[in-house]
Amino acid sequence: MNKTVLVSGGAGFIGSHVTVELIEAGYEVVVADNFSNCDRTCYEGVKKITGREDLPLEVMDFCDPEAVKALFGKYHIDAVIHFAAFKAVGESVEQPLKYYRNNLDSFLNVLEAAKEHGSFVLFSSSATVYGEPDSVPVTEATPRKPATSPYGNTKTICEDILRDSVKASGGRLKGILLRYFNPIGAHPSALIGELPRGVPNNLVPFITQTAIGKRECLSIFGNDYPTPDGTCLRDYIDIVDLAKAHVYAVNRMVDGRMKQACEVFNVGTGRPVSVLELVNAFEKVNGVKLNYKFAPRRAGDVTAIWADPSLAESEMGWKATRSVEQTLQAAWAWEKHLAGK
């Protein structure tokens, strides 16, 4: 019988791409989402891509412990991938309690149920836990730094909660932490992608919305950083590559190949790209001209961070395969699809 994976937040940007890859790898998937930060577009897109009209969908809030218990009672969950969380850095600074309440409560409920039912846990962590690193690229052993936002802090705290619970569980709980760098792009079908509400905070949605005419001008935050062209360096990872990393991690868990009860892997490309390089690559590969200007630095931005992704390759056999150009083409195709072009 196929193994079943529960994807919390499965109708969102990362969750929907992961659902597609899991189904294509032969897993049964249960999508659970409360649609607080997305509509049904990506869920419908996943059904189209995979041909799974019967894809189970549970509309529920992971902050409700009874609903989570009932969900784990209804399905036999071999592994749970937890995405359901708020993710706006700026909003988290203004409303920290909203972020701590939502992002911690939901994860605690998932962990309690997973422990009870012996389900593996995969947590969506972030490179934000490294803060402004002393040296780059960062490995999984690079010390974490204090988070620069409540959102970032919830990632650090959830990492610790998983580690502590695994340690105390006497083998009942096992989990993997994936630390994402900057996920961008969209599925090559252009049926699922990023759907920011309001003005996008992240670079690539802002670029595509500017190119399509929804935004007037892209501001590049800072051109006086100590980097080759003065703009920040990041590790932009294709969303499909990133989604596939989850399949490798779930395979490792359910096939009994974990070497420790709690493992951590960077999910990045190992390739630093500056904001200006990304903007230039977008213009070139898509043949569009972007209206942009240089603006002051954005508070809380780190100068440069990129991954050493070699552990994920040596341990799980996963590595990123898509070029920045391919990814930016997919991001543009998705924006045009949204605009009906």
Least separation, in Å, of the C-beta of 2 and ligand UFG? 32
Please list every residue from 308 through 337 that binds ligand UFG, using CB under 6 A.
none
| Minimal distance, residue 135 CB to ligand UFG, in Å | 18
**In three state form, how does the secondary structure of 73-109 look?**
HHCCCCEEEECCCCCCHHHHHHCHHHHHHHHHHHHHH
- Kindly state whether residue 151 participates in binding ligand UFG, applying the rule CB under 6 A: yes
Best CA proximity match to 217, nearest among 278, 289, 277:
289
Considering the complex, state which of residue 113 and residue 129 has its C-beta at the smaller distance from ligand UFG: 129
Near ligand UFG in 83-142, by CB under 6 A? 87, 89, 126, 128
Peptide bond into 137 cis (omega under 30): yes
Are residues 215 and 206 in contact, defined by beta-carbon separation less than 8 angstroms? yes
Phi first, then psi, for residue 238 (nearest 5°) are -60, 135
Q: Using the rule CB under 6 A, which residue among 18, 85, 220, 333 binds ligand UFG? A: 220
Assess contact for 275 and 187: CB atoms under 8 A: no
| DSSP, residue by residue, 11-48 | TSHHHHHHHHHHHHTT-EEEEEE--SS--SHHHHHHHH
Query: Per-residue DSSP letters for 175-214?
Result: EEEEEE-EEE---TTSSS----SSS--SHHHHHHHHHHTS
Residues 231-250 as x/- pattern, contact with ligand UFG by CB under 6 A:
-x-x----------------
- How would you classify the pairing of strands 236-238 and 57-59? unpaired
Q: How far apart are CA 253 and CA 265, in angstroms?
A: 13
Least distance from C-beta 289 to ligand UFG, angstroms?
17
Q: Which residue is nearest to ligand UFG (CB)?
A: 232
Taking the least distance from each CB to ligand UFG, the nearer of 151 and 282 is: 151
100 noted as active-site residue: no
Neighbour tally for 244: CB within 10 Å: 23
Is 219 an interacting residue with respect to ligand UFG (CB under 6 A)? yes
Q: By CB under 6 A, tell whether 144 contacts ligand UFG.
A: no
- Residue 203 in the binding site for ligand UFG (CB under 6 A): yes
**In sequence order, which residues have a C-beta less than 8 Å from that of residue 167 and are 6 or more positions away?**
261, 262
Q: Which residue in 109, 182, 266, 286 binds ligand UFG (CB under 6 A)?
A: 182
Asked if residue 306 binds ligand UFG (CB under 6 A), the reply is no
Stretch that binds ligand UFG, among 34-42, 67-75, 107-115, 196-204 (CB under 6 A): 196-204
Q: Scanning residues 10 to 69, which ones bind ligand UFG (CB under 6 A)?
A: none
CB of 301 to ligand UFG, least distance (A): 4
Q: Using alpha carbons, select from 164, 203, 156, 163 the residue that is nearest to residue 183.
A: 203
**Binding test (CB under 6 A) with ligand UFG, winner from 152, 175, 193, 268:** 152
Question: Using the rule CB under 6 A, is 206 a contact of ligand UFG?
Answer: yes
Q: Which of 151, 180, 225, 236 is catalytic?
A: 151
Q: Which residues bind ligand UFG (CB under 6 A)?
A: 87, 89, 126, 128, 151-152, 182, 201-203, 206, 218-221, 232, 234, 275, 298, 301
The catalytic residue positions are 151
